[in-house]
Amino acid sequence: MSNEGLNSVNNILTDVVKDQVKESAQAGNHHHMISDEVKGTSQDPSPNLVRPISIAALIFGAIVAILLAMQPQIDPYTQTVLSLTGDAANGRSIFVMNCADCHGQWAGGKVGPSLHSVSGRLSRVEMIHQVVSGETPPMPMFQPKPQEMADLLKYLEKL
Ligand code: HEC
């Protein structure tokens, strides 16, 4: 979950706790409060409203947090790769050296699947993730420099 999301949940929880503390303080100082009310000096909102407002705020905060968490979080490496212009010919050389043993000389598939039209199945972010994550053995985790990854990406997009 993003920090912003956590912070907003945190703020809302803090507010709710403050409201609860205020409420119990009011309960404890009942006589005091009544005398304040008699004097007409009480600034407190109606206690009947405090709890529904806290709950509404909590639900609203939770929804905001979920929406924030659903935003794709793009890491700095991926952002850098996406900002670069790839060179497909260089990507081809990198592919032959690192990927062709498994995916075939022309990416038609071997140990690994065919990569033809792979950019129609996977987004650019997903293709980068596939190469650098190592999440699907036996495909290893590669650590290309951002420019090399941009070149490879350009090549993959032409398959
Ligand atoms: C040791 C063999 C191996 C090597 C080397 C390898 N791969 Fe893979 N690759 C695989 C296998 C196996 C899969 C299928 C993984 C799965 O989804 O379970 C795969 C999946 C992929 C996919 C996803 C295909 C799809 O349709 O979802 C991409 C993209 C890919 N590899 C790119 C590369 C690139 C680029 C390189 C070189 C930098 C590379 N692979 C090197 C074995 C390999």
Distance from the alpha carbon of residue 158 to the mean position of ligand 1, in angstroms: 16
- Per-residue pLDDT, 1: 43
Same structural domain, 90 and 111:
yes
Rounded Cα gap, residues 145 and 104, in angstroms: 23
**Same domain, yes or no: 24 and 41:** yes
* pLDDT at residue 54 in the model: 87
pTM over 0.85: no
CA distance 99 to 95: 5
Last residue of a domain, one of 31, 48, 70: 70
Together in a domain, 66 and 80 = no
Q: Do 65 and 81 have their domain in common?
A: no
Domain boundary among 52, 70, 88: 70
pLDDT tens-digit series, residues 116-127: 999 999 999 999
Do residues 123 and 56 lie in contact, with contact meaning Cβ atoms separated by under 8 Å? Answer: no
Domains contained in the chain, number = 2
Ligand 1-lining residues (CB < 6 angstroms): 98-99, 101-103, 111-113, 115, 118, 121-122, 127, 130-131, 136, 138-140, 142, 152
Q: Give dist(CA 95, CA 127) in Å, integer.
A: 13
- Which pLDDT score, from 0 to 100, does residue 7 have? 55
**Residue 77 contacts by C-beta under 8 Å, 6 or more apart in sequence?**
132, 146
115 with 62, same domain?
Answer: no
Mean pLDDT per 10-residue section of the chain, whose length is 159 residues: 50 54 50 47 65 88 88 88 98 98 97 97 97 96 97 98
pLDDT of residue 104: 97
Query: What is the whole-number distance in angstroms between the Cα of residue 7 and the centre of ligand 1?
Result: 38
- Residues 96, 123 contacting (CB under 8 angstroms): no
Residues 97 and 59 in one domain: no
Q: Of all protein residues, whose CA lies closest to atom 5 belonging to ligand 1?
A: 99
Q: Determine the structural domain holding residue 16 and report its residue range.
A: 3-70
Q: Are residues 154 and 81 in the same domain?
A: yes
Domain end (from 42, 70, 98): 70
Please indicate, yes or no, whether residues 62 and 111 belong to a single structural domain of this protein. Answer: no
Counting ligand 1 atoms within 8 A of each CB, the residue from 139, 145, 155, 159 with the most, and so the one to mutate, is: 139
Report the CATH number that the domain containing residue 106 is assigned in CATH. Answer: 1.10.760.10
Q: Are residues 34 and 97 in the same domain?
A: no
Class of residue 22 by CB neighbours under 10 A (exposed 0-12, middle 13-18, buried 19+): middle
> Is the same domain home to 126 and 56?
no
Q: pLDDT at position 45, please?
A: 61
Task: Assess whether 29 and 86 both reside in one domain.
Answer: no
Q: In this structure, are 103 and 36 located in the same domain?
A: no
